[in-house]
Amino acid sequence: MSETLGEALPREMARVRDEVMPVYQTIPTGAFALAMMRLDLDAAAKAMAEGDVLAMLKSYEALKGYEL
């Protein structure tokens, strides 16, 4: 079964917030990456609230790029 963007984006937001960010918080030089993650999470939340599908896609791709 295929996942919709409306399902995938919140899942990706949670992954970055709950799994990736805590690791970067333990790295002394992780502040810049954390700031970028926060900006991308804010943009994703805004896109979802506005129903902007193109911005949601952009945010989804940006969030997928964050890895441990």
Q: What was the pLDDT predicted at 38?
A: 98
| Domain tally, the chain | 1
What pLDDT shows up at residue 28?
Answer: 93
pLDDT at 17: 98
Two tokens at 49? 């609230």
Tell me which residue range forms the domain holding 39. 5-64
What does the mean pLDDT of the chain come to? 97
pLDDT at 57: 98
Q: Is the pLDDT of residue 54 over 80?
A: yes
Q: Which residue has the tokens 């791709």?
A: 61
Q: How far apart are CA 8 and CA 26, in angstroms?
A: 27
The per-residue pLDDT for range 4-35, each reduced to its tens digit, is 999 999 999 999 999 999 999 999 999 999 99
